Amino acid sequence: MLKRIALLASVAIAFAVVVYASADKPADESKQLPVPEMKFNDVKEIAPGVFFRYSSIAANDPKIPFGGSNHTWVVFKDYVVVIDANFPKEAADVIADIKKTTKKPIKYVLDTHHHGDHAYGNTIWAKEGAQIVAHKNAARLLKANGPKQWEDAAKDRKDIKDNELKQVDISFDDKYELKDETQHVVFMHFGHSHTSGDASAYLPKHKILCTGDACVNGAFNYMGHSNSASWIKCLDAMGKLEIDLICPGHGKVARKDLLAKETRYFTELRAAVKKGIEDKKSVEEITKGLDFPWYKEWTGVNVVETDMNKDSVKHVYNELMGKIDHDRIGAAPSPLNWRPAPTGIAGK
């Protein structure tokens, strides 16, 4: 009898330990929104009333067509909110996909920044009756430099040539909020990162952050209009939000740890360039010596395998040498495409 009581007591204690340990654990991944498995141009409902469209892109494969920015749209009670405008042709493609998911009108479109693959589709969305929303700096850059950049871009893209540049309808400073009983979206400006006018869309109800190019998943960091030191601070500020999923401007949907990968890239790049300057090395010598094995594991390419990444080294070098005025940056056009470096890895 005593043995039986001791056995039952042992079982009860073991059960209690399991329950206590489970209660002490943080929420496991099964309670988070799942990361969707997607192919290019797929659309998936990643949370109730929230849809993500994955646009094609490749850092080193010219056979893959560039589909512009990714898109997220949020279906409110009476209307739809869309993150990013893309190019005109792709905007029309996305509108067709939206209409497969809801009959509600598209009321607001956020330009996460002024670059063509995120803002030149404004004209198409406006024809649907949507208002274009952007941070005040993005609106300023699109107005001041947009017409000339649009004209230049029209030489290479028929969809741009056949349309007209549409400016921003609603600009905001730090925050612009949309909310009803079904959905809640906050457009937020964290500071100068990819551009001075970057905006992200945060969905607190679903713990989703749509980052535009302030955070991308892959070797897609164009730094020509960036402030790399400020960019790191912006990523840190984003990390203070409760996030299950990040919907990046380019690349696949990811968990919150994508912010840490981006931060590591900019931090290590700045440190390597700074060390090279201290050692009196040229930009070419610094570029040739860069080697971040973890970066290739993440992106599939070496850290200086693409022309864009080589340009990033030059940009950081010029920043650290005091040759960049971050208040004026953004006047030059940004690239409309991604292409692999014709000679492969820098220095070869």
Contacts of 330 (CB under 8 A, 6+ apart): 114, 137, 141, 145, 195, 196, 197, 225
Q: Which two tokens stand for residue 98?
A: 């939206």
Rounded to an integer, the average pLDDT of 107-121 is 98
Determine what percent of the chain is predicted with pLDDT higher than 70: 88
Helices (H) and strands (E) in the chain — how many of each?
Answer: 12, 12
* SS3 label, residue 124: helix
> Tell me, what's the pLDDT at 30?
63
Closest CA to 331 of 158, 160, 196: 196
Is 263's pLDDT higher than 90? Answer: yes
pTM of this prediction? 0.89
The tens digit of pLDDT for each residue in 133-186 reads: 999 999 999 999 999 999 999 999 999 999 999 999 999 999 999 999 999 999
Rounded to an integer, the average pLDDT of 225-247 is 98
Return the beta strands (E) in 129-249 as ranges.
131-135, 170-172, 175-179, 184-188, 200-203, 208-212, 245-248
Least confident of 17-26, 141-150, 215-224, 311-320: 17-26
CA distances from 348 to 298, 304, 324, 344 (A): 22, 11, 29, 7
Closest CA to 47 of 56, 30, 35: 35
Task: For the chain, give the mean pLDDT.
Answer: 90
Asked if 131 contacts 107 with a C-beta cutoff of 8 angstroms, the reply is: yes
The tens digit of pLDDT for each residue in 62-75 reads: 899 999 999 999 99
> Tell me, what's the pLDDT at 336?
84
Rounded to an integer, the average pLDDT of 38-45 is 98
Is 26's pLDDT higher than 70? Answer: no
Per-residue pLDDT band for 338 (boundaries 50, 70, 90) equals: low
- Element at 258 (helix H, strand E): helix 257-278
Question: In the 8-state DSSP scheme, what is residue 303?
Answer: T
